[in-house]
Structure 1
Amino acid sequence: MKFKNIVITISLLIASCLYSFGQRKTFTVTSKIADLKDSTYNMTIWNGFSDVVFKKGSTKNGQIYYQDTTSVPLIIRLTLPTESLYKRVDRGYIPVKSQSIWFVAMPGGKILLKGKLSDFAEVYPSGDKENDVISKLNKGYHPLLNKSANIELKLAKDTVEEALKKRLEAEQEQIDSEAEKYLKDFLKKNISSIAGLYYLEDMLIREIVTIDTVEALLPTVAKAYQSSPFYTILKNRVAGSKYDVGKSIFQINTRNTYDGQVFDSNSWKGKFYLIDFWGSWCGPCMADVPDLKKLRDSYPDQLRVLGIASDKNDSWRKAIEQHNLNWAHILNDKGSNNYVLRLNVTGFPTKILVDPNGTIVYRSTGGGETSFEKISEIIKNWK
């Protein structure tokens, strides 16, 4: 009995450290990065509850000093403008996680970023258990990502001979396989951590792991972490994955619409409706608009369209008006209005076709004419 009480007390203490019972506390980020020049930097911040937050900061005397407040753990990606970190290709660059510094900000935490900048950010955090985990992960993972990105950079050049190209592709495939195995093995042992939960969802979205793997790992997560929003995201994605072809969809009822009026999917009973997950920032989504309009106009009595956007409110409204997207629209949000999670959408655009009986009859991710051809065939052959 005494042992049981000790275990309960320890669990409560861990939960207290993780979430501070909702109290906002200041966290501080400092650095010891060799030869860092004064400049601005960008931070991308995930809290697991809402959309990503972007912030800027400035280095002073060659180091980073940043303070903010939080009531929950945050995953933060800090990106410096140091040119050597960018894999430049023509006018763009190859995005890679190893280009940035990653850390966890806990309420009241003190994070030290230490290391150097080479052709990737060899800078890792310390200060608490959560940062020890993400540091250990990225010390093994990021060098592999960087090697793969360097090969991608070579392959992007038109001057690569065919024989060399094949050798580089084989080498890259080997490195990618090693990186994937490292990440999977690491997360199996460290799933009970903020970084573990965040990276597991990231792997799911990038199709490195399957929903079955996530479903198998979730019961192994320590109880103290099961109240984390990063855990809840994964749990919701597992639930959302059940809404596949052949399954009945839930009622969509919300006032989070373009005109502020209540939308209720039950009002469309007896008709097909196509859910189009999109964003104004998504090139393939916007490229699909003419074909989507053509499909909708081909079946004026049988088909309705519902756009669900993952976007900023202003950008969403501007795109609807500018491109005359004259169908029902919902802006994805938190909780019951987070349809991206509730339907386990892992890429944009995603299209889900619901038949007149409320059953999902088609689902696809990615743009292009093929999706519209298949949807048209289903509607045309409906009996």
Structure 2
Amino acid sequence: MEFKINPFNNMTFSKDVIWIFLLILLAPFSSDGQNAKAAVNFTIEGRITDFGDGMLVGTISDFKTNTLTLDTILVKNDSFKHKAFVNEKQIVSYGVTDNRFAKYRKAVKDGDTVLVDFTNKKLKAIEIVVFPGVNIRVEGNASSYLNAYSTGSPEEVKIASLNRKLYPFRDSLSDIDYTNKQTFRYALQQEEKFVNSISTIENSFIKNNPSSIISSYLIFQRFQTFIKSNKPEADSLLTLLKPKKGDVYYRRMIFIKNNLAESKKAIKVGEKFPDFKTKFIYKGKNFTLNQTQGKYRLIDFWGTWCIPCVKEMPQLKQFYEKHKDSLTIIGIANDNYQNWTAFLNKHHYNWIQLLDNGPIKLSEDLKVEVYPTKYLLDPSGKIIMIFKDADEGIWSKIESALNIRH
């Protein structure tokens, strides 16, 4: 069987060549010290009915070096057998990078209606507890979403049992219709009901399993929300745990708590935007901000979950096409890899696209708290404008700053 791939209209590729091509695209995301020849110390195999052919992609963290490595599982005819490496016990979420499980939901903001993609990442991922020496088995189906669970260790049994309880409520959350004004209040009541049910299930698990790394993982997600806005609440979350030695999430929370006072202040107009580097660039290799010097640059912090971000993307694309000779646009998504990749694969927003998904995020380092947030830089890297939230007048303001005349 052969496929034609644009823009190479005169070339055909076998299915095997396409897999190799996809792996080459993903290769730049791997860390320097880990490649196909690296040592492996855990395995994942299984069968997901109705999945067919495709990929499951997760990110494995090295909390000691603050680096991430993409781990790609190839699925063929519903089945897979995979070997990988991890240096510390952690939870890895393996999900798809295509649109097969995307749920589309219309959401209302300030009277406007916009179609939002990928509203609930939990419906498209398998959460697995990985650690050196574990052999994991995954079974399930993909008839409506990635309804698959793992076995292989006591922690696998726990996380599978937990997610079997959580996923129906997460699925119900993604089905809520916010577009009907007559039922909008009811929709909010339903949302509160499902969120409370999820919290109750998670709280019960944490109470009954205070030493489980799964509990630390759940607390870690809440901790990141409260540590900036409500430090006493963040501190109280830590008291719910009785972590075992080597718990990476508890260790990370203590580090964040102890170093919060040393965090940088938000950068301002007139200051130079700090240089940064990343391997998480869409269809590219390593990226540093300094390599784009010499042109005006618009840095856009966004996410697939952000309604105003998604809404303004067509306008941003139009603006990019009009001014790309004098302006470089750099999108930085605070998102997970699967949603980010699937969104860009579908919509083809082809300016520089980066993923802000490391153990230490650039958005956190710069104190970006509103989405979207944009920084307009002059050719030397100095900030000349900052835009927070959606701004209908942003395009004319940027054109004025660039001295562009119609």
Normalising by the residue count of structure 2, what TM-score does the alignment of the two structures yield?
Answer: 0.54
Distance in 2 between residues matched to 1:188 and 1:343, nearest whole Å: 32
1:231–1:34 distance in 2 versus 1, CA, 3 Å: same
Q: Give the residue type in structure 1 aligned to 2:47.
A: K
Preserved CA contact (<8 Å) 2:124 2:146: yes
> Does residue 65 in structure 1 map to residue 88 in structure 2?
no
CA contact (8 A) 1:28 1:111 kept: yes
Distance 1:91 1:339, change over 3 A: closer
2:398: which partner in 1? none
Q: Which structure's relative contact order is higher, taking Cα pairs within 8 Å and 6+ residues apart?
A: 2
Shift of 1:349: 7.9
* Cα RMSD (Å): 4.1
Determine the structure 2 residue equivalent to 1:42. Answer: 57
Could you tell me which runs of 5 or more consecutive residues in structure 2 were left unpaired when the two chains were aligned: 1-38, 106-114, 280-285, 299-355, 374-386, 392-406
Q: Aligned residue for 1:236?
A: 255
Residues 315, 115 of structure 1: alpha-carbon distance in 2 compared, 3 angstrom cutoff: same
- Give 1:216 shift: 3.4
> What are the residue-to-residue correspondences of 1:1-383 with 2, within 5 Å?
26-49=41-64, 50-80=66-96, 83=99, 85-88=101-104, 90=115, 92-151=117-176, 154-155=177-178, 160=180, 162-207=181-226, 211-218=231-238, 221-222=241-242, 224-225=244-245, 227-241=246-260, 243=261, 249=262, 274-276=265-267, 292=268, 295-296=269-270, 307=274, 311-312=278-279, 314-318=287-291, 322-323=295-296, 347=369, 367=388
How far did residue 97 of structure 1 move? 1.6
Q: What percent of counterpart residues are identical?
A: 16
Q: Are 1:96 and 1:146, in contact at CA under 8 Å, matched by a contact in 2? A: no
Q: Distance in 2 between matches of 1:130 and 1:52?
A: 22
Amino acid aligned to 1:30: E
Q: 1:41 to 1:147 in 2, by over 3 A?
A: same
SS of the equivalent of 1:199 reads: helix
* Unpaired segments ≥5 residues, structure 1: 1-23, 244-248, 253-273, 277-291, 297-303, 326-331, 352-365, 371-383
Tell me: CA distance 1:84–1:166, structure 2 relative to 1, closer, same or farther (3 Å): farther
- Preserved CA contact (<8 Å) 1:47 1:74: no
The verdict on how the C-alpha distance between 1:349 and 1:127 changes in structure 2, with shifts beyond 3 A counting, is same
- Look up the SS of the partner of 2:50 in the other structure: coil
The whole-number CA distance in structure 2 between the counterparts of 1:84 and 1:350 is 27
Q: Deviations over 1:299-348 (max 9, x none)?
A: xxxxx6674858446144445665469xxxxxx9999xx69799896957
Structure (1 or 2) with the larger CA radius of gyration:
1
Shift, 1:175, TM fit? 0.9
Q: TM-score, normalised by structure 1?
A: 0.57
Q: Distance in 1 between matches of 2:117 and 2:295?
A: 27
Q: How many pairs does the alignment contain?
A: 267
CA displacement at 1:172 relative to structure 2: 1.6
The equivalent residue for 1:379 is none
CA shift, 1:143, in A, is: 1.7
Q: Partner letter of residue 71 of structure 2?
A: K
Q: Structure 1 residues 59 and 117 mapped into 2: Cα distance closer, same or farther (>3 Å)?
A: same
Q: Whole-Å Cα distance in 1 between the matches of residues 253 and 160 of structure 2?
A: 22
